[in-house]
Structure 1
Amino acid sequence: MYKYVSISRRVIAVLLLATIMTLGMIPSDSKGARGANHFPNVLLITHEGKAVYFYEDLIKDKVVVINFIYTSCPNSCSLETAHLREVQSILGNRVGQDIFMYSISIDPVQDTPEILKQYADKFNVRPGWTFLTGKKDDIILLQKKFGLSIDEIENGDSQDHNINMIIGN
């Protein structure tokens, strides 16, 4: 017989914070670290309309929280965004200074910078958390580099996706 255990969002946020803080203490050139040779420097567009390069501008030498979403997702994306907004609130001014949050759209046709801005505003996202879009093939490449690609999903018309979050430096 299994017992359902409910863990509060605050406990999850504190665990996430501890993980992020620990990563901030690990040198980015640690054994096993992946850098420019692993992550592509693809061009993405922020929810503010700014062009950025994934590796050079977003993740190089930074502690990051990355997830893949789409704004018309009927269930999990909004819930995940709401939870991450709570984490952002707990982290306070650290977000945007020594911790950076990125949500990358898997539906770049629909999720224009304007739509992503509306989505970020809907969740009252503060500075330090950037929503991104780009070319579909580049986004699939990023998912593959993070080990989040599922061929059956990528090759179909489905908007199903992994709801994993990546935390790293």
Structure 2
Amino acid sequence: MSVLDEHARRRRAWLTAALALTALRPGSAPAVPIVGYHGGRVTPPVPVPDVPVHTADGRATRLHALLNGRVTALQLFFTGCSSTCPIQGAVFQRVQGLLGPRGHPDVQLLSLSISPLEDTPARMRAWLARFDARPGWIAAAPELKDVDVLQALFGGGLTGLDNHSTQVQIVDRAGALIWRTYELPSAESVADILRRA
């Protein structure tokens, strides 16, 4: 096991324990269910919070309206990121290519912002354009008050711009989290999971 693998294992163990303690603290805010952050199937599936979002095309809607009826590969990002987010964008760009020129009507890619104050529809559109996003790849930003609950579920429980996960989350047609990849997955592995989901 490499030093990086050992560091990631310890970080996940510490985070799981910290989240468990937070969830048990009297008077603490309701939390999303604690889910292991390693890659693989999420059993049982965990419903995704139905929070308000604004899409890159300027629509105000709810997260479930974006998710329902489609298998969704979801990544956390923010447009001002210069480290891992461009890599994640390139992975989704490659996933679109692997799914074919027409994609699949019941499969979509969703880049979900963790910086809603900065990630306006115009900035999210520019970010998608940077990766030649085609129909079937959308971006959305929640309200600021909902970022922490989304990061708790999708981001390994870490908060703050510098602490977002590089995993890809797979959400089923009913809006439940069913799978999460390992950190910075290959496009081939994401496309394969989407085809099988």
TM-score (norm 1): 0.69
Question: 1 CA distance for matches of 2:94 and 2:154?
Answer: 24
Structure 1 position 33 matched with structure 2 position 36: no
1:49 counterpart SS class = coil
Equivalent pairs: percent with the same residue?
Answer: 27
Question: 2 CA distance for matches of 1:113 and 1:46?
Answer: 6
- Would you say how many aligned residue pairs link Structure 1 and Structure 2? 131
Segments ≥4 residues shifted beyond 2 Å: 31-34, 145-148
Aligned to 2:165: 162
Matches within 5 A, 1:137-148: 137-146=145-154, 148=156
Shift of 1:118: 0.8
Aligned to 1:87: 95
TM-score (norm 2): 0.60
Residue identity matched to 1:160: N
Question: 2 CA distance for matches of 1:131 and 1:65?
Answer: 12
Matches within 5 A, 1:16-165: 32-34=44-46, 38-55=47-64, 57-92=65-100, 93-95=102-104, 97-146=105-154, 148-150=156-158, 153-154=159-160, 158-165=161-168
Question: 1 CA distance for matches of 2:154 and 2:83?
Answer: 23
Aligned to 1:9: none
Shift of 1:84: 1.1
Asked whether the equivalents of residues 113 and 119 of structure 2 are also in contact (C-alpha less than 8 Å), the reply is: yes
Question: 1 CA distance for matches of 2:162 and 2:111?
Answer: 16
1:74 counterpart SS class = coil
Q: Are the structure 2 counterparts of residues 137 and 148 from structure 1 closer, same or farther at C-alpha, using a change threshold of 3 Å? A: farther
Question: 1 CA distance for matches of 2:55 and 2:49?
Answer: 17
Asked whether the equivalents of residues 77 and 112 of structure 2 are also in contact (C-alpha less than 8 Å), the reply is: yes
Structure 2: gaps (5+ residues): 3-42, 173-197
- CA offsets 1:59-104 (integer angstroms, 9 cap, x no match): 2242110000011111110011012101111102234x11011001
Residue identity matched to 1:54: L
Q: Are the structure 2 counterparts of residues 105 and 42 from structure 1 closer, same or farther at C-alpha, using a change threshold of 3 Å? A: same
1:65 counterpart SS class = strand
CA RMSD across the alignment? 2.1
Question: 2 CA distance for matches of 1:104 and 1:121?
Answer: 15
